[in-house]
Amino acid sequence: MARPFKCPYCGGTRTIWKGFRPLQQGKVRLRKCKDCGRKFKTRKMVI
């Protein structure tokens, strides 16, 4: 569970958990990057 996730914008690994966002196809994980401050979504464990 403690797998570092890279920010797709700046490549930083200091991302923080922002919770779930339910969609029709399943759950999407919201994360925020501490380095660049941008938010992004991840689906499951695959990019």
Binding of Zn ion by 16 (CB under 5 A)? no
Q: Which two tokens stand for residue 37?
A: 């401050």
Residue from 21, 36, 39, 41 that binds Zn ion (CB under 5 A)?
36
- In sequence order, which ranges of 1-47 are alpha helices (DSSP H)? none
Binding of Zn ion by 17 (CB under 5 A)? no
Radius of gyration of the chain (CA): 10
Please tell me what DSSP assigns to residue 8: T
Residue from 35, 39, 41, 43 that binds Zn ion (CB under 5 A)?
35
Binding residues vs Zn ion (CB under 5 A) = 7, 9-10, 12, 33, 35-36
